[in-house]
Amino acid sequence: MLDEITTIRRRFTRHGTLEECIDEAFAALSGLGYDALVYDYTPIPYDLDGAIMIPSMLKLRNIDDDMRVYWCDRGYFRIDPVQIVAARSSAPFAWSYDKAIDTEIGALLDETTEPVARYL
């Protein structure tokens, strides 16, 4: 396992920018069958009113740019079950918008989050 971690670290440290690292991650994930990547960053998860903060950075690979409009301008990030779970913890997790699959976001898949699942 340490060899795998070292290999991954080397692949990322050869890049000088975040954009290049995201491209590297997307290339690696594409090899595993993934066809899109979203990277977002928010320095703090919640605003003073307790609402999920809008991402200060949103990087998309193989996803229409209108996602930025939906998530940031239309507020989908606040009803995205993945964002809700991610704001609560820094631990990695797997998810699916398929209600038949038991994942971390399963309990949040309802009429409130339906616009997000429908978009994706």
Residue pLDDT, tens place only, 7-23: 777 887 888 899 999 99
Backbone angles phi, psi at 66, to 5 degrees: -65, -15
Domain, as residue range, for 73: 36-119
What's the whole-model pTM score? 0.78
Q: Are 67 and 38 in contact (CB under 8 A)?
A: yes
Asked if residue 58 belongs to a domain, the reply is: yes
Cα gap 56→95, rounded to integer Å: 23
Has residue 2 got a pLDDT over 80?
A: no
Asked if residue 7 belongs to a domain, the reply is: no
Q: Are 94 and 104 in contact (CB under 8 A)?
A: yes
Asked if residue 93 belongs to a domain, the reply is: yes
- What pLDDT digit, counting tens, does each position of 81-108 carry? 999 999 998 888 889 999 999 999 999 9
Asked if residue 19 belongs to a domain, the reply is: no
Q: Which amino acid appears at position 109 of this protein?
A: L
Count of structural domains, the chain: 1
Asked if residue 46 belongs to a domain, the reply is: yes
Asked if residue 113 belongs to a domain, the reply is: yes
Asked if residue 98 belongs to a domain, the reply is: yes
- Mean pLDDT of all residues in 18-42: 90
Asked if residue 6 belongs to a domain, the reply is: no
